[in-house]
Amino acid sequence: MNRFNRLVGLIRLIGLIGLVASALVGSVSAQNEGRDPVPVPDVPPYTTLKGDFHLHTVFSDGRVWPTVQVREAWRDGLDVISLTDHAEYHPNAPDVRVDGNRAYEVARPIADQLGILLIRGVEITKPDPPAPSVLPDGSAHFNALFVSDANALNTPDLMQSLRAAKAQHAFVFWNHPRYGVDRAEWFRPIARAFDEGLFQGMELVNGPDFYEEAYPWVAERKLTILATSDGHDPMPSRATGFRRPITLLFVRSADADGVREALEARRTAAWLGEDVWGAEELLKGVWDGAITVRTNMRRTPGAGPMIVFRNASAIPMRVRIRQRPDWMRGGGGLIPAQGELALAVGFEKTAPAAGHVEIDLDVSNLHTAPGRNLVVRVRLTLPA
């Protein structure tokens, strides 16, 4: 029996060593992981930054250490993030110190090392968890960025917390407007806070969700658009096919002051998967910086005319010929991220022998307003 017990113990020890070795290899692999640059062109005179301003750690209800959020953001090609743990909700309190500023302090050294701008933030969550998280008339969760002391926002009352954020000159946005309800509405607590000037932006995208019914409020109330992951768990990499929501910021300077100024000036766009929502002039700038067009309009036997689009960005562009001369045929297609599309066109017999023609393209995944997409014009040359 003793010999058997020793054998079982040896087997368990070997298994434990294997698990430890596997964990160590995984840890080294994670530390040596490469960065996916996720290129998005600048829109002169602005520099384009990629951000995620809604992330949680073990210092509230997240399941990752703050440095993990920074490493994964760097891996995913982001430039700026904020760790926004709940001011009121600390289910991990038996194991970690309750301090709304601690995640920022832990993450700041590695953020500086990796060149990630780290903005101090906090989430205001009313009513206080673990009470039901949705009020009778809707969700009241807000993120406050650029706070000086996150702990000061842990108050019993929503308006009191938002006023404390304003006193710290925070930029505040409303989180997931459809949270806990079937359809987002301009709920009474939201209207009160907005009328008092206590928030300036709204998540148009949170995780996989786009809030179509809230989209008109962006223009109506002049809100800054944000797209956030609301990440609590380890984030899958882009290599797995997962696409983290990203806020695009068009900044005058690639620093915290530039980020704040862009947020306050509403120079942002929300990017989820193939779709981007933003102001027309900004999305037109992204198109111009990303897409080059090469045309071959020569009419030669066995090779029809075509338009070749080259996309230098990580945003795919879905195009459709919107307006064209009666003598031209053609449809549309997807210009893949960092790829090309050869769009075949056809000419009727009535086509002119030579000259210039302009066609309008609908870029159906770049949305400039509810029910409206970006329209771009391409000039073609017909050789003699």
Q: What's the token pair of residue 226? A: 């944000």
**Full pLDDT tens readout for the chain, 384 residues:** 344 334 333 433 333 333 334 334 444 445 567 999 999 999 999 999 999 999 999 999 999 999 999 999 999 999 999 999 999 998 999 999 999 999 999 999 999 999 999 999 999 998 766 666 666 666 789 999 999 999 999 998 999 999 999 999 999 999 999 988 889 999 989 999 999 999 999 999 999 999 999 999 999 999 999 999 999 999 999 889 999 999 999 999 999 999 999 999 999 999 999 999 999 999 999 999 999 998 765 656 555 677 889 999 999 999 998 877 777 777 789 999 999 998 877 776 666 766 777 888 999 999 999 999 999 998 877 766
Reply yes or no: is the peptide bond before residue 130 cis, omega within 30 of 0.
yes
Query: Are the beta carbons of 247 and 270 closer than 8 angstroms?
Result: yes
In contact, 177 and 199? CB cutoff 8 Å: no
State the burial class of residue 25 (Cβ atoms within 10 Å of its Cβ: 0-12, 13-18, 19+): exposed
DSSP 325-350: -TTEEE-EEEE-TTSEEEEEEEE-TT
Strand-pairing partners, residue 173, are 143, 201
**CA triplet 137, 210, 118: central angle to 5 degrees?**
95
Nearest 5°: the CA angle 179, 182, 187 is 65
Q: According to CATH, what is the number of the domain 286-382? A: 2.60.40.3090
Bridge partner list, 121: 145
Secondary structure class of 10 (helix, strand, coil) = helix
Please state which architecture CATH assigns to domain 33-273. Answer: Alpha-Beta Barrel (3.20)
Neighbours of 220 (CB within 10 A): 9
Alpha helix segments (H runs only) across the chain:
2-31, 66-75, 102-114, 158-167, 188-195, 215-220, 256-265, 280-290
CA atoms 161, 166, 172, 177: torsion sign: positive
The segment(s) of the chain belonging to CATH 2.60.40.3090 are 286-382
CA 34 to chain centre: 20
Q: What is the pLDDT of residue 299?
A: 59
Q: Which two tokens stand for residue 276?
A: 């981007």
* Of the candidates 212, 125, 139, 201, the residue with the CA atom closest to the CA atom of residue 170: 201
Return the residue matching tokens 């058997």.
4
CA pair distance 20, 95, nearest whole angstrom:
23
Residue range(s) of every CATH 3.20.20.140 domain in the chain: 33-273
β-strands 209-210, 246-251: how paired? unpaired
Task: Report the predicted TM-score, pTM, of the whole model to 2 decimal places.
Answer: 0.88
- Asked if 133 and 127 count as a contact pair (C-beta separation under 8 A), the reply is yes
For the chain, state the CA radius of gyration: 25
Helix (H/G/I), strand (E/B), else coil: 83: strand
Q: Which helix (H) or strand (E) holds 322?
A: strand 317-323
